[in-house]
Every structure is written in C-alpha cells, then in structure tokens.
Chain A
Amino acid sequence: MNFKHKYVFLFPGLFVLIGILIFPIIFTIRLSLSGWNSYTPEMNFIGITNYIRLFTDDPRFWESFFRLSFLSVTTVILQYIIGFALALIVWREIKFKRFFRVIFLIPMMTTPVIMTVIWRTFFHESLGPVNDLLGNLGVEPILWLSDPVIAKFTVIIVEVWQWTPFMFLLLLAGLLSLPKEPFLAAAIDGASSFRKFVYVTFPLMAPISIGAIIIRLIEASKIMDTVFVLTSGGPGTATETSSFYIYIKGLREFQMGYAATLSFTYLVIMIISLTIIAKVLTKLMIKE
C-alpha cells in the first residue's frame, strides 16, 4: 500500500502540534539568545550571555527552584498518603459510600484562584477565622502568611486541599480495577488487614501509584496561582517558586530574553529530573 495522500490527512494535527508546541519552544530558545527587554525590545543576538548570567549570577532562580522542589515533593507525598487513605476508606463497603466519594472530589471541582482567595481570607492574621478559632483555644495568633517558614506550609496546606481529590480519584479507580482473587487468597491464608495492605494492595497498586505521583509532580512543579494569590511569593522571596520568578522577570520586569533563558533551562531540568524520578519510582515500587 502506497498512500501518498496520508500527509494531507496528517497535516491538521501536525499544524496544531507545530503551532502550540514546537514553534513556542524554538521561539523560546531563540528569544533566550537575545537581550530583549523594555529598553531594547528587539530580537538581537547576544549569544549565551543570558545563560552565563543564570549560572553565575542569579542565586534567586536556584533558590526558587529548590523551594519549588521542596514544595512539590512535600505536597505530592502528602496528597498521595491522604488520597490513598481516603480511597481505601470509600473502596470498602461503607454506608453513604457514594456520598463520600462525591464529597471528597469537591475541592478539585472548584476554581483554584477563587479557592485560594478564600483560603487567604481564612488565614488572614488579624481578620481571618483560623487565628480567631485558635485564639478561642488559647493559641497565640500564628503568622500564616508573613512568617517565611510558616508561609511555605500554608502554601502546602492549600495545595494539598486543592489537589488531593485528584490523587484520590486516580487511586480509587485503581483500587476498583484490582482483581479479587489476591484478596481472597490473602483472606484464606489468614492475613491481617495490615499484611493484606503491605503484601497485596500496595504491590498491586504500585503501577497506578507511580502514574498518579508523576502526573501530580508535573502539575505541582507548575505551582503558580496558589503562590500568586496567597503570598505573591512573599514574605520576601520565602514562597517564590520557579514559575513565579520567571513570571516576575518576564511580565513584570519585561526582561523577555532572560525570562526565556529561565524558561528553557527550567524545561530541561524538569524533563531530566522527572525522567529520573519516574525510573527510580518504578525501580522501587515495581519489582519485575
């Protein structure tokens, strides 16, 4: 079969792919080699000057990157643990199972930015209800948003609340698709609930867990809206993440060329690190 017209049919898809993926990447690479900023808004060529600046003279980017790593790994681990626990609860035959399944999904269905505004109100240090309630219990007001360390955990709390349902959904789907026999066999062998979880449920769920963790890690490494609304990267740069820093450089300071350098470097680092993480997780969790 020699069907030459196939390229005609492939073209629409290819066109979209070029338009939304390949062109922007190539454009970003070209832009990163330019000094485009608000004084000289033109696509000149300055070689790898921007890259030299990034690797020798920009600790703020690397700090934001390690902060991002900490935030995304912590939130995803917490989401995985809580999501798995919730999924295990409603997986069994319990009363109002359907009701709980829907309830657990609600955070994911809300708009992140709006929810973050609500969270910001909750955590407001003098007007918010959280400190008010804690005050009734005799707890000193906590600086949810203005203490550099606590602010990080505030971001984590909001992120975990918002995205645990996604983890829950994937893991519940995984649990529901597991074969029955291994559980019956474990029951016959007299295994306790703990042993059943360790030797049956968890190993069977490993492939799904890896998928869910990787998807969430990719999503979490893009943390932007939560930080933007909740703390604007503050106090100081205490909650600034890579994407937020790139946003500041590009769209606030209009250093387009340098922001493109940051974006491209960030993309390369993410591709490499997520590939390594996926490999390591597979090795750790699936013993094939």
Chain B
Amino acid sequence: MAKIELSNISHTYNPNDTNPTYALNPFSMTWENGKRYAILGPSGCGKTTMLNIVSGLVRPSKGKILFDENDVTDLITEERNIAQVFQFPVIYNTMTVYDNLAFPLRCRNFSDQKIEERVKSVSDTLRLSSFLKSPARKLTADQKQLISLGRGLVREDVAGVLMDEPLTVIDPDLKFRLRRNLKEINEQYKTTLVYVTHDQNEAMTFADNIIVMDQGEIVQVGLPKDLFERPRTTFVGYFIGSPAMNLFETEASSNDCVKINGTLIKTNTNLSKLKDKKIKLGIRSEFINLAEDQKHNLLSVEVDKVEDLGNYKLLTAKMGELTIKSKINREIEVPSSDVKLHIPADKCCVYDNEILI
C-alpha cells in the first residue's frame, strides 16, 4: 500500500503538434493510503488516461508520479507494483482459477507456501474458494471480473488497485453486492482503491472521495455530500444528481437576492460585488417543495406535468420561459394548475461564470 501522488501531471496524445490538445490539463493530486476514490466524468473526459498514467501504461507528457515519495514516472508497469482491473474481465483462459490468482505471485517468484496462503485469503474474501480448481474460462462474467480483481489483491504490497469501469458487464443486483464487497476488501486489506466510472450512483456509494472530471480538467474533489449540495461548477451540478440541478439565468438585485422572472429570491450568498451582473442560480430538485406556510422565497408556477417515478413524484413546472423540476414526496397530492414552490435560501448555489461563489 502506498500514498500515490500526482504532481503537475499533464498529458497530450499529440505532443509534436504546434498546438497540442491536452487530454489532461495540468493538475496535482494526492491519493492517501488505504482510501477509496472514484473518478467520475463523462466519456472522453480523461479518466482512463489518468488511470493509465498511474499504472504506467501511459507516460505523462509533463509532471511526476510518486509512490510513497519515490518517483516512479519512468518505471514501466511491471516495476510499479500496481494492479488494474479493466472494463471487461481479463483472465488467463488456459488456467484454473487458482492458477489465475497465483499468476502475479508466480511471476514475482514467491514461494509455493506463500502463494497458497495468499490465494486462499483472497479467494475467501471474493467468495471464489469453491471454484479454485475449475478452469477460469467456465466461470460467469462477474466471477471472471472477481478473478481480475483478485489478481490485483493477491499482492500484499501492491501500491493501489485501479479499476476502470469494472462493473459494466455485471448485473445490477450483483453490482450492488460487488461494490459492498469492494468496500469490505478496502477495509480488510487497507488497499488504496481508485475506481473510474461514469455512473454517479456507483461513485457515490463506493467512494470516500469523488473526483469529478470534465474535458481533461478536474472540476471538483469532495465527499458525495459536497458534490450534491455544493457543486463547485454548473457542470458538476448538471452531471451529478438525477434530475440535474435546476439552473436559472438571473442577476443579483441586492446584497443577497436574485430576481427570477420578476420574483425576488433570497440566498445565503453575499452578492454585493456582483450587482447587475449575469449570474446563475442553482438549486437541486430535491430541495424545492410545494409551499406550505412559508412567506418568502416563493415562485408562482404553472404545473406542466407530474410523473410518478415509484419512490417519488417528479414535478415539472413552467414559469414563463423557465422550467423547474422538483422531487416531491409521492404521498403529497399535486394540484393540476398553478402552485407555489418554496426555494430554501440555504440550499441556493450562485454561480458566476459557471463557478460557485
């Protein structure tokens, strides 16, 4: 296990161009020993590039990678002692499950006794013990993926286990079990786990820390709660949460109020420096409710449609040109005509130039 440090890393796939496009813009980051990280972002945002840089499959154009303060930038994958699990399970078809799990240790010339001990421990954790003697190719896709993972975990001294959308091929209910399994493994072995995904639920349920990326840029690093309640950019607000955060184009009309379609909405943000500037107000649909006895921060809207999504109702309302979405408790009756919606001041996020103030 190791602390993984990425220092001033940037990467381009066409370094010889006069104007190279960067798959990863310069950034620095530290992954603490034994923690779980999720890298979240849309396809093509640089997630996999970042992972491949850490595992040594790609050499960064600039910057350094340190494992426990040791510079490994110029080391090839074999010498880095890192494990990586790919989107599709990779197993050695000609070997049994046992031999698959033992393979990384055999390549490193461990003693047979040590190998047996490690394989047993890992196969117990991954619930593969009863298959050890079967040919690996006969297993199901999710069991094969567990073998891929097991080959990473079997090395005690592995610096970290990197996973590139590892649960894509797995059934939804198994996904849930495997994620829990991964958490247990992390707690048991204190392995640094880095998990790349484009699925926010997966990231939220798995990680201590989520790294949100967009177009080669790290947009926000934080706890699931932070990402949800205080998205640092409008992109994060849009990308995280379902439905996406409500965003209204508006302008500051006083020290802490913005005007939406002529209605004043109070926020907890100091807007004194932004007066008359174009800004955006963001609020999660979870925090907007039908007004009960509140006097302020109310929007009069026209109900457009109400969808029953099982555990909640999704209300889509119109206010002139604006569309507002609100998640409502399914027990509550929603009137079919005009309603008032309450916008809690403490949940309002104000964005200047797409960045949270």
Question: Do A and B come from the same complex?
Answer: yes
- By a beta-carbon cutoff of 8 Å, the part of chain A in contact with chain B is 181-182, 184-185, 187-192, 195, 199-200, 203, 287-288
CA distance A144 to B311 in the complex (A): 87
Work out how many contacts link A and B, with CB atoms closer than 8 A: 53
* A90 shortest CB reach to chain B, Å: 22
* B299 shortest CB reach to chain A, Å: 51
Q: Taking A189-B151, A191-B103, A288-B137 as contacts, is the C-beta distance between A184 and B84 under 8 angstroms?
A: yes
Chain A residues with CB below 8 A from B77, complex form: 184, 187-188
Per CB-CB distance, the 10 closest pairs between chain A and chain B, nearest first, are: A190-B107, A185-B90, A189-B104, A187-B77, A181-B86, A199-B92, A181-B90, A190-B78, A203-B94, A182-B90
Evaluate contact between B78 and A185: CB separation under 8 angstroms: no
* A227 shortest CB reach to chain B, Å: 39
Chain B residues with CB below 8 A from A288, complex form: 137
Q: Taking A181-B88, A287-B137, A288-B137 as contacts, is the C-beta distance between A188 and B82 under 8 angstroms?
A: yes
B residues 55-110 near A (Cβ < 8 Å) are 55, 57, 76-78, 82-84, 86-88, 90, 92-95, 103-104, 107-108
The chain B residue sitting closest to A198, CB to CB, is B94
Chain A residues with CB below 8 A from B104, complex form: 188-190
- By a beta-carbon cutoff of 8 Å, the part of chain B in contact with chain A is 55, 57, 76-78, 82-84, 86-88, 90, 92-95, 103-104, 107-108, 135, 137, 148, 151-152
The chain B residue sitting closest to A184, CB to CB, is B57
Evaluate contact between A189 and B107: CB separation under 8 angstroms: yes
**Of A185, A189, A190, A203, which is within 8 A of B86 by CB?**
A185
Evaluate contact between A199 and B84: CB separation under 8 angstroms: no
Evaluate contact between A184 and B86: CB separation under 8 angstroms: yes
Chain B residues with CB below 8 A from A192, complex form: 107
* B76 shortest CB reach to chain A, Å: 8
* A251 shortest CB reach to chain B, Å: 49
Q: Taking A181-B88, A184-B57 as contacts, is the C-beta distance between A189 and B94 under 8 angstroms?
A: no
Chain B residues with CB below 8 A from A287, complex form: 93-94, 135, 137
* B323 shortest CB reach to chain A, Å: 43
The chain A residue sitting closest to B93, CB to CB, is A203
Chain A residues with CB below 8 A from B93, complex form: 203, 287
Interface centre among B77, B94, B151, B152, by most A CB within 10 Å?
Answer: B94
Evaluate contact between B94 and A199: CB separation under 8 angstroms: yes
Chain A residues with CB below 8 A from B83, complex form: 188
* B338 shortest CB reach to chain A, Å: 56
CA distance A184 to B80 in the complex (A): 13
* B196 shortest CB reach to chain A, Å: 14
Evaluate contact between B84 and A190: CB separation under 8 angstroms: no
The chain B residue sitting closest to A191, CB to CB, is B107
Q: Taking A184-B57, A185-B148, A287-B135 as contacts, is the C-beta distance between A190 and B108 under 8 angstroms?
A: yes
CA distance A287 to B94 in the complex (A): 7
CA distance A181 to B95 in the complex (A): 17
Chain A residues with CB below 8 A from B82, complex form: 188
CA distance A40 to B152 in the complex (A): 79
CA distance A197 to B86 in the complex (A): 20
The chain A residue sitting closest to B94, CB to CB, is A203
The chain A residue sitting closest to B151, CB to CB, is A189
The chain B residue sitting closest to A187, CB to CB, is B77
